[in-house]
Chain A
Amino acid sequence: NAGVTQTPKFQVLKTGQSMTLQCAQDMNHEYMSWYRQDPGMGLRLIHYSVGAGITDQGEVPNGYNVSRSTTEDFPLRLLSAAPSQTSVYFCASRRGGRGEAFFGQGTRLTVV
């Protein structure tokens, strides 16, 4: 099992550009989520999904879109990148939405 796979690992964007961060898991977990990690701020929930076709907002959703068409994939879209979105992004999955969260290796995004 690969677990949770995130691509790309690093990305530099110009202000106003759009892009999609990819997340895939092979554990058949229903629950998937996206976090951003900023220095001194811990992990903050952006969006989450409790199953295919169902998504909801977390603590800091503005500027991000998600969709969940399959159990395996949960992409995060930045519609118009801003310097404030410079961060490390982590995707996580959990079986049944409870217990241990399995995290990907992260995507380090810089918006210039």
Chain B
Amino acid sequence: GENVEQHPSTLSVQEGDSAVIKCTYSDSASNYFPWYKQELGKGPQLIIDIRSNVGEKKDQRIAVTLNKTAKHFSLHITETQPEDSAVYFCAASRITQGGSEKLVFGKGTKLTVNP
């Protein structure tokens, strides 16, 4: 089955700096790669996702890049702010026989943005 590795497990940056979180996946058939942000005491929330037919996607200060050949994808946050402090999860999935996508999550990265 799919295995997703996420690094680093913790990341501390100064406000205004950039933050990069990296994930690798094992199943070459995976074709959907979302990123979730989990604030303290809340459920994860989707912040950006990418499908395997594109290499990069951007939404304001957040971008995701995908390298299908190397089977890795990354989350880039620019001009970090204290409210970006949270746990971030990457995930990978493929279409199952039933037509749904079964998400497999990385273990998470705790990002701390210091004012």
Chain A residues with CB under 8 Å of chain B are 4, 31, 35, 40-45, 48, 50, 58-59, 90, 92, 94, 96-101, 103-106
Classify chain B: how many residues form its interface, as a range.
20 to 34
What are some 12 contacts across the A-B interface (CB < 8 A)? Answer: A42-B107, A44-B105, A45-B102, A48-B102, A92-B43, A98-B100, A99-B49, A100-B34, A101-B36, A101-B103, A104-B43, A105-B43
CA distance A47 to B89 in the complex (A): 20
Asked whether A41 lies within 8 Å of B107 as measured between CB atoms, the reply is yes
A42: min CB distance to chain B, Å: 4
Chain A residues, Cβ within 8 Å of B101: 94, 97-99
Main secondary structure of the interface of B (DSSP, over half): loop
Chain B residues, Cβ within 8 Å of A41: 107
B108: min CB distance to chain A, Å: 5
With most chain A CB atoms within 10 A of its CB, the pick from B44, B45, B89, B104 is B44
Q: A50-B100, A98-B101, A100-B49 are in contact. Are A90 and B108 (CB under 8 A)?
A: no
Determine the residue in chain B with the shortest Cβ distance to A100: B46
Chain B residues, Cβ within 8 Å of A96: 100
Taking a contact as CB atoms closer than 8 A, the residue among A40, A94, A100, A105 that contacts B107 in the complex is A40
Asked whether B44 lies within 8 Å of A42 as measured between CB atoms, the reply is no
Asked whether B43 lies within 8 Å of A97 as measured between CB atoms, the reply is no
Chain B residues, Cβ within 8 Å of A4: 43
Chain A residues, Cβ within 8 Å of B102: 45, 48, 58
CA distance A61 to B26 in the complex (A): 22
* Beyond A43-B105, A98-B101, A100-B46, 7 additional pairs, beta carbon < 8 A: A40-B9, A42-B108, A45-B102, A45-B103, A50-B100, A99-B101, A105-B41
Determine the residue in chain A with the shortest Cβ distance to B90: A42
Chain A residues, Cβ within 8 Å of B44: 43, 90, 101, 103
B36-93 residues with Cβ-Cβ distance < 8 A to A are: 36, 41-46, 49, 89
With most chain B CB atoms within 10 A of its CB, the pick from A40, A42, A45, A90 is A42
